[in-house]
Amino acid sequence: MKKILIHLLKPLSFLPAILMMYLIYSFSAQTGEVSGALSYEVSYQIVETKNEVLNENKTYDELAYSASSIEFYVRKAAHMTEYCLLAIAISFPLMITVGIGTNLTDYAKVFTNPAYIVIIMATVIGAMIGTFIVGKLFHFYPVEGMLTAGLCMANGGGAGDVQCLGAAHRMELMSYAQISSRIGGAIMLVIASFIFGKFL
């Protein structure tokens, strides 16, 4: 029963995102006149409601002028709302798909296998010592060098940068950490894949 529910839940979780894409496509297919008239009508409703709530007693011409002055902003807010709802609708199926397909016992094996622990420790210590020595040669601050060029190169991307710099109370180094993660991490992956493929 659980497997059937999982197989049904995965494709059905994409249904809100598909509906939201259809809604965006249908609005985008409208002509400029129809779209402008719709945004003006919404703008006029906003201005009219404000006039009634605040007892401004504006005339029809004043309401029309106010509506035309905010029409551009209402249209852009509608576009942003559409894409925000699409992002939310897409994020849920991705979380469901990844969450259902993730086996947490695979992650638990990392902490029970001594080989993984040795590799992790060697990576962290090597990254720290190497950047400390190179930083000293070029007269950099050693702790900041170890953090940005060392640990942030070897961690798990942007989230790892936040964790390392947050723990060290040096969030102002985020721009350097991002460069290290993106460029240094990519270079390390290329070199490691070549070495592992050649010798292991």
CA–CA dist 157, 60 (Å, integer): 56
- Given this model, what pLDDT does residue 5 score? 67
The tokens describing 100, both together, are: 């259902």
Cβ atoms 177, 164 nearer than 8 A: yes
- Given this model, what pLDDT does residue 46 score? 92
- Given this model, what pLDDT does residue 98 score? 64
pTM of model > 0.85: no
- Given this model, what pLDDT does residue 82 score? 87
The tokens describing 172, both together, are: 């102002």
Q: Which residues of the chain have pLDDT under 50?
A: none
CA–CA dist 141, 144 (Å, integer): 6
Q: Give the residue from 44, 49, 48, 52 showing the smallest Cα distance to 69.
A: 44
